[in-house]
Amino acid sequence: MLTPVPPPPAPAASKPRILTGDTPTSTGLHLGHYVGSLENRLALQDSYDCYFLIANVHAFTTLAEKPDDIRANTIGIVKDWLAVGLDPDRSTFVLQSEIPAIAELTFLFAMLLPFNKVMRNPTLKTEIESKGLGDHYSFGFPMYAVGQCADILAFRPELVPVGEDQEAHIEMCRDVALKFNQVYAGVGNRVVPEEHVKAGGVFPIPRAKIGRIARLPGLDGVNKMSKSLNNAIFLYDDEKAVQKKINKVTVLPDPATGMVSQDHVLLKLCDAFLPKERAEAIRAEYASGKDVMHGHVKAELGAAINTLLAPMRERRAKLDGEQGDAIVQDVIRRGVCRANAVAEETLYAAKKAMKLDFGKRTVG
């Protein structure tokens, strides 16, 4: 039996908020996800009131005919977050489909964005190409960019920790918030973004926070680390698999200089996963032109990565056990409750500013 968990204490009002999220379109977190965003989230959990959103409605914008996959990936993401160390007692996990205020704000915000501007959004364009959507994507697909503005603004965060690829969306979200405050809350055109709330705006103007390493190279040394390119170390690869993958990285001198390039993937991985001084010392050795024992470097790197991953593997294995799905259900239920309290408050403030307030409602 699962012991009932008491609801977490209400987050301290004094902490500034952050919101970020993932779309459950696939499974398989790897080290690129870790240094690009998860690590950032872990570090922010103490000093911020954190909201982590699972964008399961957005998953339907490209996978409308695969509801089973979306459900499985949704549960998988919650397990991944718990395994990595995101803590539902300190942070709020938000399941998008259970937050009606997000859907309502999406519609209202859609009127503040020029259609052509949405269609020119570079993140959408890249996705249309990389996912091979051609010209047959659904109406809902570009809508998700507007939806993402609502995901964020429903929680009125200061910061949005995301990967580089999401910057265009955060820019659009800032545009919507500025426009809303100016049109409906009487904030003057010359008020700087940081002063909007003080000037009576409903929404703070959020900023993106990009991860420590925006682009971790994959083991092929050419492309970004990615599941589909088969060049990734996954967070749940076992110890042997991790070391084996690292051992396979080829380290050849650059024909032009006769030395191993300082841009080599092995050195970039050392930067990412070894203490700074060690990574610098290894770089210096390679730069000196000496014959470096690649095997030793690879063993040190593999050990460091395995130390980082060990507790995650352990927690993940527990969640894959019998009780796992019930734990996930409970985390979702508690998160939805907390998230709706905040999002409903935001929606009501927005409706009031738009002269759409005809009485408060309760969302249970």
Contact region for ligand TRP (CB under 6 A) — 147-155, 187-195, 326-334, 340-348? 147-155
279 part of the interface to ligand TRP, by CB under 6 A: no
Residue selected from 102, 160, 265, 304 as contacting ligand TRP according to rule CB under 6 A:
160
162 part of the interface to ligand TRP, by CB under 6 A: yes
CA–CA distance, 264 with 268 (Å, rounded to integer): 6
Q: What are phi and psi of 314, to 5 degrees?
A: -65, -45
Contact region for ligand TRP (CB under 6 A) — 5-13, 17-25, 26-34, 213-221? 17-25
CA–CA distance, 273 with 308 (Å, rounded to integer): 9
Q: In what order do the strands lie in the sheet with 17-22?
A: 92-95, 49-54, 17-22, 159-162, 207-210
Burial class, 132, CB count within 10 angstroms (exposed 0-12 / middle 13-18 / buried 19+): exposed
Residue selected from 23, 40, 91, 243 as contacting ligand TRP according to rule CB under 6 A:
23
Residue 352 burial (CB count, 10 A): 13
CA–CA distance, 34 with 150 (Å, rounded to integer): 25
Contact region for ligand TRP (CB under 6 A) — 40-48, 159-167, 197-205, 280-288? 159-167
Least CB distance to ligand TRP at residue 43 (A): 17
Strand-pairing partners, residue 208, are: 160
98 part of the interface to ligand TRP, by CB under 6 A: no
282 part of the interface to ligand TRP, by CB under 6 A: no
73 part of the interface to ligand TRP, by CB under 6 A: no
217 part of the interface to ligand TRP, by CB under 6 A: no
For tokens 């703070």, what's the residue? 204
CA–CA distance, 154 with 332 (Å, rounded to integer): 18
Instruction: Give CA 162 to chain center in angstroms.
Output: 5
Residue selected from 152, 202, 205, 305 as contacting ligand TRP according to rule CB under 6 A:
152
CA–CA distance, 185 with 195 (Å, rounded to integer): 13
Q: Give the x-and-dash track for 164-193 against ligand TRP (CB under 6 A).
A: --x---------------------------
For the chain, helix, strand, coil in percent to 5 are 55, 10, 40
20 part of the interface to ligand TRP, by CB under 6 A: yes
Residue selected from 17, 21, 176, 327 as contacting ligand TRP according to rule CB under 6 A:
21
**8 Å CB contact between 235 and 317:** no
148 part of the interface to ligand TRP, by CB under 6 A: yes
CA–CA distance, 138 with 147 (Å, rounded to integer): 14
Nearer to ligand TRP, 94 or 312 (CB): 94
Where in 24-63 is the site for ligand TRP (CB under 6 A)? 53, 55, 58
Least CB distance to ligand TRP at residue 168 (A): 10
Binding site for ligand TRP (CB under 6 A): 19-23, 53, 55, 58, 148, 151-152, 160, 162, 166
